[in-house]
Structure 1
Amino acid sequence: MVEEIDPSKLEIADELIAERRGTAPGKLPDDMPRWMAATITRIDLMSLWIGRAVCWMLVPLCVSMVYEVIARKYFLAPTMWAYDISRMFYGALFMLGAGYALSRGVHIRADFLYRNWSVRVQGTVDSTLYLVFYFPGLLVFMWTSIDYAWVAIDRGERGMDTAWMPYMGPIKSVLPVGALLLLIQGISETLKSLYAARRGRWPV
Protein backbone atom coordinates (compact mmCIF):
# COMPACT_ATOMS: atom_id res chain seq x y z
CA MET A 1 0.00 0.00 0.00
CA VAL A 2 1.39 3.41 -1.01
CA GLU A 3 1.44 6.01 1.74
CA GLU A 4 -0.15 9.35 0.86
CA ILE A 5 1.98 12.44 1.33
CA ASP A 6 0.62 15.42 3.24
CA PRO A 7 1.57 18.54 1.23
CA SER A 8 1.77 20.59 4.43
CA LYS A 9 4.66 18.40 5.62
CA LEU A 10 6.78 18.92 2.53
CA GLU A 11 10.10 20.67 2.97
CA ILE A 12 10.71 24.19 1.68
CA ALA A 13 12.89 22.67 -1.03
CA ASP A 14 9.80 20.83 -2.30
CA GLU A 15 8.03 24.08 -3.22
CA LEU A 16 9.07 23.57 -6.84
CA ILE A 17 7.70 20.03 -7.02
CA ALA A 18 4.11 19.41 -8.08
CA GLU A 19 1.82 17.63 -5.63
CA ARG A 20 2.96 14.01 -5.47
CA ARG A 21 0.19 11.44 -5.75
CA GLY A 22 0.28 8.41 -3.51
CA THR A 23 -2.98 6.79 -4.56
CA ALA A 24 -3.05 4.00 -7.11
CA PRO A 25 -4.93 4.51 -10.42
CA GLY A 26 -8.60 3.60 -10.28
CA LYS A 27 -9.54 5.15 -6.92
CA LEU A 28 -11.90 7.85 -8.18
CA PRO A 29 -14.94 9.58 -6.60
CA ASP A 30 -18.38 8.02 -6.99
CA ASP A 31 -19.86 11.25 -8.35
CA MET A 32 -17.50 11.33 -11.31
CA PRO A 33 -19.15 10.48 -14.67
CA ARG A 34 -18.44 6.90 -15.71
CA TRP A 35 -16.87 7.81 -19.04
CA MET A 36 -14.54 10.25 -17.30
CA ALA A 37 -13.54 7.77 -14.58
CA ALA A 38 -13.00 5.00 -17.14
CA THR A 39 -10.84 7.24 -19.35
CA ILE A 40 -8.72 8.47 -16.44
CA THR A 41 -8.26 4.97 -15.03
CA ARG A 42 -7.24 3.43 -18.36
CA ILE A 43 -4.78 6.17 -19.19
CA ASP A 44 -3.26 6.20 -15.70
CA LEU A 45 -2.90 2.40 -15.70
CA MET A 46 -1.25 2.55 -19.12
CA SER A 47 1.21 5.17 -17.84
CA LEU A 48 1.86 3.10 -14.73
CA TRP A 49 2.81 -0.02 -16.70
CA ILE A 50 4.89 1.96 -19.18
CA GLY A 51 6.68 3.61 -16.27
CA ARG A 52 7.41 0.24 -14.69
CA ALA A 53 8.76 -1.10 -17.98
CA VAL A 54 10.84 1.97 -18.76
CA CYS A 55 12.50 1.95 -15.33
CA TRP A 56 14.32 -1.24 -16.37
CA MET A 57 16.41 0.92 -18.68
CA LEU A 58 18.32 1.86 -15.55
CA VAL A 59 19.90 -1.61 -15.56
CA PRO A 60 21.83 -1.36 -18.87
CA LEU A 61 22.52 2.29 -18.10
CA CYS A 62 24.20 1.45 -14.79
CA VAL A 63 25.92 -1.66 -16.18
CA SER A 64 27.47 0.27 -19.06
CA MET A 65 28.76 2.97 -16.71
CA VAL A 66 30.19 0.50 -14.20
CA TYR A 67 31.83 -1.51 -16.98
CA GLU A 68 33.36 1.64 -18.46
CA VAL A 69 34.77 2.79 -15.11
CA ILE A 70 36.29 -0.61 -14.31
CA ALA A 71 37.69 -1.14 -17.82
CA ARG A 72 39.17 2.35 -17.93
CA LYS A 73 40.60 2.45 -14.40
CA TYR A 74 41.85 -1.09 -13.85
CA PHE A 75 42.52 -2.42 -17.37
CA LEU A 76 43.38 0.78 -19.26
CA ALA A 77 40.85 -0.28 -21.87
CA PRO A 78 38.18 2.44 -22.25
CA THR A 79 35.22 1.55 -24.42
CA MET A 80 33.99 3.41 -27.49
CA TRP A 81 30.36 2.62 -26.80
CA ALA A 82 29.70 3.25 -23.08
CA TYR A 83 29.25 7.02 -23.41
CA ASP A 84 26.78 6.68 -26.29
CA ILE A 85 24.88 3.86 -24.61
CA SER A 86 24.56 5.83 -21.37
CA ARG A 87 23.27 9.03 -22.94
CA MET A 88 20.89 7.13 -25.23
CA PHE A 89 19.37 5.14 -22.39
CA TYR A 90 19.20 8.25 -20.23
CA GLY A 91 17.43 10.17 -23.00
CA ALA A 92 15.02 7.30 -23.62
CA LEU A 93 14.37 6.96 -19.90
CA PHE A 94 13.63 10.68 -19.64
CA MET A 95 11.28 10.85 -22.64
CA LEU A 96 9.43 7.56 -22.23
CA GLY A 97 8.99 8.07 -18.48
CA ALA A 98 7.70 11.65 -18.78
CA GLY A 99 4.06 10.57 -19.13
CA TYR A 100 4.31 8.39 -16.03
CA ALA A 101 5.97 11.23 -14.10
CA LEU A 102 3.08 13.52 -15.07
CA SER A 103 0.55 10.96 -13.87
CA ARG A 104 2.28 10.80 -10.47
CA GLY A 105 2.55 14.58 -10.15
CA VAL A 106 6.33 14.78 -9.83
CA HIS A 107 7.21 17.21 -12.62
CA ILE A 108 8.99 20.36 -11.50
CA ARG A 109 6.87 23.51 -11.46
CA ALA A 110 6.58 26.69 -9.38
CA ASP A 111 3.89 25.91 -6.80
CA PHE A 112 4.60 28.69 -4.29
CA LEU A 113 1.52 30.63 -5.52
CA TYR A 114 -0.53 27.75 -6.88
CA ARG A 115 -0.72 25.94 -3.53
CA ASN A 116 -2.49 28.86 -1.89
CA TRP A 117 -5.34 28.94 -4.41
CA SER A 118 -8.65 27.17 -3.91
CA VAL A 119 -9.10 23.81 -5.61
CA ARG A 120 -11.63 25.30 -8.03
CA VAL A 121 -9.15 27.96 -9.11
CA GLN A 122 -6.37 25.36 -9.40
CA GLY A 123 -8.56 23.15 -11.56
CA THR A 124 -9.66 26.05 -13.75
CA VAL A 125 -6.09 27.29 -14.25
CA ASP A 126 -4.75 23.78 -14.92
CA SER A 127 -7.45 22.84 -17.44
CA THR A 128 -7.06 26.18 -19.23
CA LEU A 129 -3.29 25.84 -19.46
CA TYR A 130 -3.56 22.27 -20.69
CA LEU A 131 -5.95 23.26 -23.47
CA VAL A 132 -4.27 26.53 -24.47
CA PHE A 133 -0.57 25.69 -24.12
CA TYR A 134 0.10 22.04 -23.27
CA PHE A 135 -1.68 20.25 -26.11
CA PRO A 136 -0.82 22.71 -28.91
CA GLY A 137 2.82 22.84 -27.81
CA LEU A 138 3.17 19.07 -27.61
CA LEU A 139 1.42 18.55 -30.94
CA VAL A 140 3.91 20.88 -32.61
CA PHE A 141 6.78 19.13 -30.83
CA MET A 142 5.53 15.69 -31.87
CA TRP A 143 5.04 16.75 -35.49
CA THR A 144 8.53 18.24 -35.62
CA SER A 145 10.15 15.26 -33.89
CA ILE A 146 8.48 12.79 -36.27
CA ASP A 147 10.19 14.54 -39.19
CA TYR A 148 13.41 14.77 -37.17
CA ALA A 149 13.38 11.02 -36.48
CA TRP A 150 12.33 10.05 -39.99
CA VAL A 151 15.18 12.01 -41.59
CA ALA A 152 17.66 10.27 -39.27
CA ILE A 153 16.27 6.84 -40.16
CA ASP A 154 15.98 7.54 -43.90
CA ARG A 155 19.53 8.87 -44.18
CA GLY A 156 21.07 6.33 -41.86
CA GLU A 157 22.33 9.19 -39.73
CA ARG A 158 25.16 8.36 -37.35
CA GLY A 159 26.51 10.20 -34.33
CA MET A 160 29.61 12.12 -35.34
CA ASP A 161 30.79 13.25 -31.91
CA THR A 162 32.24 9.88 -30.80
CA ALA A 163 34.40 7.20 -32.36
CA TRP A 164 31.65 4.58 -32.08
CA MET A 165 29.33 6.56 -34.39
CA PRO A 166 26.03 4.86 -33.48
CA TYR A 167 22.94 5.07 -35.68
CA MET A 168 20.76 7.93 -34.41
CA GLY A 169 17.42 6.81 -35.84
CA PRO A 170 16.36 4.61 -32.89
CA ILE A 171 17.08 7.18 -30.18
CA LYS A 172 15.56 10.04 -32.17
CA SER A 173 12.42 7.94 -32.62
CA VAL A 174 11.94 8.08 -28.87
CA LEU A 175 11.10 11.80 -29.11
CA PRO A 176 7.72 11.48 -30.89
CA VAL A 177 6.84 8.40 -28.84
CA GLY A 178 7.51 10.27 -25.62
CA ALA A 179 5.48 13.24 -26.88
CA LEU A 180 2.59 10.91 -27.71
CA LEU A 181 2.66 9.41 -24.22
CA LEU A 182 2.62 12.91 -22.72
CA LEU A 183 -0.33 13.85 -24.91
CA ILE A 184 -2.29 10.79 -23.81
CA GLN A 185 -1.54 11.40 -20.13
CA GLY A 186 -2.47 15.06 -20.65
CA ILE A 187 -6.02 13.94 -21.47
CA SER A 188 -6.26 12.28 -18.06
CA GLU A 189 -4.82 15.34 -16.31
CA THR A 190 -7.20 17.67 -18.12
CA LEU A 191 -10.20 15.59 -17.07
CA LYS A 192 -8.99 15.65 -13.46
CA SER A 193 -8.60 19.41 -13.66
CA LEU A 194 -12.10 19.86 -15.08
CA TYR A 195 -13.50 17.73 -12.27
CA ALA A 196 -11.63 19.80 -9.68
CA ALA A 197 -12.86 23.05 -11.24
CA ARG A 198 -16.43 21.83 -11.08
CA ARG A 199 -16.52 19.93 -7.77
CA GLY A 200 -13.96 21.85 -5.74
CA ARG A 201 -11.82 18.80 -4.94
CA TRP A 202 -9.22 16.77 -6.74
CA PRO A 203 -10.30 13.26 -7.77
CA VAL A 204 -6.98 11.66 -6.72
Structure 2
Amino acid sequence: MQYLYFVDRLSMFTGKAFAWCIIILTLGGSYEVFVRYLLNAPTGWAYDMSYIMYGALFLMAGPYTLSRDGHVRGDVVYRLFPQRVQAAVDMVLHLIFLLPAVCAMIYHGSLYARESWGYMEMSIFSPMGIPIYPLKTLIPVVGVLLFLQGTAEVTRCVWCIKHGYWPQRLRDVEETETAIMHQKEAEHADQLGTGGRS
Protein backbone atom coordinates (compact mmCIF):
# COMPACT_ATOMS: atom_id res chain seq x y z
CA MET A 1 0.00 0.00 0.00
CA GLN A 2 2.90 2.37 0.67
CA TYR A 3 4.03 1.95 -2.95
CA LEU A 4 0.53 2.80 -4.20
CA TYR A 5 0.32 5.96 -2.15
CA PHE A 6 3.88 7.02 -3.07
CA VAL A 7 3.20 6.69 -6.80
CA ASP A 8 -0.25 8.30 -6.48
CA ARG A 9 1.29 11.26 -4.62
CA LEU A 10 4.01 11.59 -7.26
CA SER A 11 1.42 11.59 -10.06
CA MET A 12 -0.74 14.04 -8.12
CA PHE A 13 2.19 16.39 -7.52
CA THR A 14 3.30 16.44 -11.17
CA GLY A 15 -0.26 16.77 -12.43
CA LYS A 16 -1.02 19.70 -10.15
CA ALA A 17 2.34 21.36 -10.84
CA PHE A 18 1.75 21.28 -14.59
CA ALA A 19 -1.88 22.36 -14.15
CA TRP A 20 -0.43 25.87 -13.72
CA CYS A 21 0.17 25.77 -17.48
CA ILE A 22 -3.55 26.59 -17.78
CA ILE A 23 -2.95 29.94 -16.06
CA ILE A 24 0.01 30.68 -18.31
CA LEU A 25 -2.04 29.72 -21.37
CA THR A 26 -4.94 31.92 -20.29
CA LEU A 27 -2.78 34.95 -19.53
CA GLY A 28 -0.67 34.54 -22.66
CA GLY A 29 -3.71 34.05 -24.88
CA SER A 30 -5.51 37.03 -23.35
CA TYR A 31 -2.43 39.21 -23.82
CA GLU A 32 -2.14 38.12 -27.45
CA VAL A 33 -5.80 38.93 -28.16
CA PHE A 34 -5.37 42.35 -26.53
CA VAL A 35 -2.24 43.38 -28.42
CA ARG A 36 -3.32 41.81 -31.71
CA TYR A 37 -6.83 43.23 -31.97
CA LEU A 38 -6.69 46.41 -29.90
CA LEU A 39 -3.12 47.58 -30.47
CA ASN A 40 -2.58 45.91 -33.87
CA ALA A 41 0.78 44.60 -32.63
CA PRO A 42 0.70 40.77 -32.57
CA THR A 43 3.44 38.93 -30.73
CA GLY A 44 5.85 36.48 -32.31
CA TRP A 45 5.78 34.06 -29.41
CA ALA A 46 2.09 33.49 -28.56
CA TYR A 47 1.55 30.55 -30.92
CA ASP A 48 4.67 28.74 -29.75
CA MET A 49 3.88 29.41 -26.11
CA SER A 50 0.38 28.01 -26.53
CA TYR A 51 1.37 24.73 -28.17
CA ILE A 52 4.34 24.17 -25.85
CA MET A 53 2.26 24.85 -22.73
CA TYR A 54 -0.65 22.79 -24.01
CA GLY A 55 1.69 19.96 -25.00
CA ALA A 56 3.29 19.93 -21.56
CA LEU A 57 -0.09 20.03 -19.85
CA PHE A 58 -1.49 17.25 -22.03
CA LEU A 59 1.51 15.00 -21.45
CA MET A 60 1.79 15.51 -17.70
CA ALA A 61 -1.94 15.07 -17.15
CA GLY A 62 -1.72 11.43 -18.26
CA PRO A 63 -0.20 9.91 -15.11
CA TYR A 64 -2.36 12.12 -12.88
CA THR A 65 -5.55 11.07 -14.69
CA LEU A 66 -4.55 7.40 -14.48
CA SER A 67 -3.94 7.78 -10.74
CA ARG A 68 -7.46 9.21 -10.35
CA ASP A 69 -9.00 6.43 -12.50
CA GLY A 70 -10.23 9.21 -14.75
CA HIS A 71 -9.47 7.90 -18.23
CA VAL A 72 -12.46 7.23 -20.46
CA ARG A 73 -13.67 3.63 -20.53
CA GLY A 74 -16.65 1.87 -22.05
CA ASP A 75 -18.08 0.71 -18.74
CA VAL A 76 -21.63 -0.22 -19.82
CA VAL A 77 -20.89 -3.89 -19.05
CA TYR A 78 -17.74 -3.48 -16.95
CA ARG A 79 -19.51 -1.71 -14.08
CA LEU A 80 -21.91 -4.65 -13.72
CA PHE A 81 -19.02 -7.05 -13.00
CA PRO A 82 -18.04 -7.96 -9.43
CA GLN A 83 -15.00 -6.00 -8.25
CA ARG A 84 -12.70 -9.03 -8.52
CA VAL A 85 -13.67 -9.47 -12.20
CA GLN A 86 -13.17 -5.75 -12.82
CA ALA A 87 -9.70 -6.01 -11.29
CA ALA A 88 -8.83 -9.05 -13.42
CA VAL A 89 -9.96 -7.27 -16.60
CA ASP A 90 -8.02 -4.13 -15.67
CA MET A 91 -4.89 -6.11 -14.82
CA VAL A 92 -4.89 -7.97 -18.14
CA LEU A 93 -5.42 -4.72 -20.07
CA HIS A 94 -2.66 -2.92 -18.15
CA LEU A 95 -0.21 -5.79 -18.69
CA ILE A 96 -1.01 -6.34 -22.38
CA PHE A 97 -1.60 -2.79 -23.59
CA LEU A 98 -0.57 -0.05 -21.16
CA LEU A 99 2.82 -1.16 -19.87
CA PRO A 100 4.26 -2.34 -23.23
CA ALA A 101 3.07 0.88 -24.91
CA VAL A 102 4.62 2.95 -22.14
CA CYS A 103 7.92 1.06 -22.47
CA ALA A 104 7.90 1.86 -26.19
CA MET A 105 7.16 5.49 -25.32
CA ILE A 106 10.13 5.63 -22.95
CA TYR A 107 12.51 4.03 -25.44
CA HIS A 108 11.51 5.93 -28.57
CA GLY A 109 10.83 9.14 -26.65
CA SER A 110 14.37 9.02 -25.27
CA LEU A 111 15.79 8.68 -28.78
CA TYR A 112 13.54 11.47 -30.01
CA ALA A 113 14.54 13.79 -27.14
CA ARG A 114 18.26 12.97 -27.49
CA GLU A 115 18.14 13.77 -31.20
CA SER A 116 16.32 17.03 -30.48
CA TRP A 117 18.93 18.02 -27.87
CA GLY A 118 21.71 17.01 -30.28
CA TYR A 119 21.00 19.87 -32.62
CA MET A 120 19.16 22.14 -30.17
CA GLU A 121 15.94 21.91 -32.15
CA MET A 122 14.05 25.14 -32.65
CA SER A 123 10.46 25.64 -33.73
CA ILE A 124 10.13 25.81 -37.52
CA PHE A 125 6.79 27.60 -37.16
CA SER A 126 8.14 30.58 -35.27
CA PRO A 127 10.09 33.62 -36.39
CA MET A 128 11.42 33.74 -32.82
CA GLY A 129 13.18 30.37 -33.08
CA ILE A 130 11.81 29.08 -29.78
CA PRO A 131 13.59 25.94 -28.49
CA ILE A 132 11.37 22.87 -28.33
CA TYR A 133 13.85 20.25 -27.11
CA PRO A 134 12.73 20.76 -23.48
CA LEU A 135 9.17 19.83 -24.49
CA LYS A 136 10.40 16.71 -26.28
CA THR A 137 12.29 15.76 -23.12
CA LEU A 138 8.94 15.44 -21.37
CA ILE A 139 8.02 12.46 -23.56
CA PRO A 140 10.34 9.92 -21.85
CA VAL A 141 9.76 11.60 -18.47
CA VAL A 142 6.01 11.10 -18.84
CA GLY A 143 6.69 7.55 -20.00
CA VAL A 144 8.51 6.80 -16.73
CA LEU A 145 5.71 8.38 -14.68
CA LEU A 146 3.09 6.41 -16.62
CA PHE A 147 5.08 3.22 -16.12
CA LEU A 148 5.23 3.82 -12.35
CA GLN A 149 1.52 4.61 -12.24
CA GLY A 150 0.76 1.60 -14.42
CA THR A 151 2.63 -0.71 -12.01
CA ALA A 152 0.70 0.90 -9.15
CA GLU A 153 -2.56 0.17 -10.98
CA VAL A 154 -1.52 -3.47 -11.49
CA THR A 155 -0.70 -3.64 -7.76
CA ARG A 156 -4.14 -2.18 -7.04
CA CYS A 157 -5.72 -4.89 -9.23
CA VAL A 158 -3.82 -7.66 -7.43
CA TRP A 159 -5.01 -6.24 -4.10
CA CYS A 160 -8.62 -6.21 -5.29
CA ILE A 161 -8.42 -9.78 -6.63
CA LYS A 162 -6.96 -10.94 -3.31
CA HIS A 163 -9.25 -8.99 -0.93
CA GLY A 164 -12.42 -8.57 -3.00
CA TYR A 165 -12.55 -4.78 -2.93
CA TRP A 166 -10.60 -1.88 -4.39
CA PRO A 167 -8.07 -0.17 -2.13
CA GLN A 168 -8.95 3.44 -1.46
CA ARG A 169 -7.41 6.10 -3.67
CA LEU A 170 -6.02 9.33 -2.32
CA ARG A 171 -8.65 12.02 -1.85
CA ASP A 172 -8.36 14.83 -4.35
CA VAL A 173 -10.46 17.32 -6.21
CA GLU A 174 -13.75 16.00 -7.57
CA GLU A 175 -16.11 17.01 -10.30
CA THR A 176 -19.08 18.93 -8.92
CA GLU A 177 -21.47 16.16 -9.93
CA THR A 178 -19.42 13.56 -8.03
CA ALA A 179 -19.14 15.79 -4.96
CA ILE A 180 -22.93 16.33 -4.91
CA MET A 181 -23.49 12.59 -5.30
CA HIS A 182 -21.18 11.86 -2.32
CA GLN A 183 -22.93 14.53 -0.27
CA LYS A 184 -26.36 13.01 -1.02
CA GLU A 185 -25.08 9.54 -0.12
CA ALA A 186 -23.74 10.85 3.21
CA GLU A 187 -27.04 12.61 3.96
CA HIS A 188 -28.98 9.44 3.11
CA ALA A 189 -26.70 7.37 5.37
CA ASP A 190 -27.23 9.90 8.20
CA GLN A 191 -31.00 9.66 7.77
CA LEU A 192 -30.85 5.88 7.90
CA GLY A 193 -28.64 6.05 10.99
CA THR A 194 -31.12 8.26 12.83
CA GLY A 195 -34.12 6.18 11.76
CA GLY A 196 -35.31 8.90 9.35
CA ARG A 197 -35.93 11.38 12.20
CA SER A 198 -35.01 15.03 11.53
Over the residues paired in the alignment, what is the CA RMSD in angstroms?
A: 1.2
What is the deviation of 1:61?
A: 1.3
The answer to which structure has the higher helix fraction is 2
Corresponding residue for residue 72 of structure 1: 36
Give, as a single letter, the amino acid of the residue that structure 1 aligns with 2:159. Answer: Y
CA–CA separation in structure 2 for the residues paired with 1:49 and 1:112? 32
SS in 2 for 1:170: helix
Q: Is the 8 A contact 2:52 2:132 kept in 1?
A: no
TM-score calculated relative to the size of structure 1 = 0.79
Matched position secondary structure for 2:128: coil
Aligned partner of 1:66: which letter? S
Count, aligned residues: 168
Match of 1:188? 152
Tell me the residue number matched to 1:160. Answer: 124
**For the residues of structure 2 that align with 1:82 and 1:185, how far apart are their CA atoms?**
33
Task: After TM superposition, give the deviation of residue 198 of structure 1 in Å.
Answer: 2.1
Deviation at 1:122, TM superposition (A): 0.6
User: Which residue does the alignment assign to 2:184?
Assistant: none
Q: Deviations over 1:46-73 (max 9, x none)?
A: 1222222111122211111011000111
Q: C-alpha separation between the residues in 1 aligned to 2:61 and 2:22?
A: 12
Match of 1:113 in 2: 77
Is 1:59 the counterpart of 2:23? The answer is yes
Higher gyration radius (CA): 2
The answer for unaligned runs of 5 or more in structure 2 is: 169-198
5+ unaligned residues in a row in structure 1: which ranges? 1-36
Contact (CA 8 Å) 1:99, 1:181: kept in 2 or not? Answer: yes
Letter in 2 for 1:65: G
Q: Per the alignment, in what secondary structure is the counterpart of residue 192 of structure 1?
A: helix
* Contact 1:95-1:179 at 8 Å conserved across structures: no
Counterpart mapping for 1:103-142 below 5 A: 103-142=67-106
For 1:22, the equivalent position in structure 2 comes to: none
State yes or no: 1:102 paired with 2:101: no
Q: What's the CA shift string for 1:124-168, capped at 9, x where partnerless?
A: 111111112211111011100110111011012222123233212
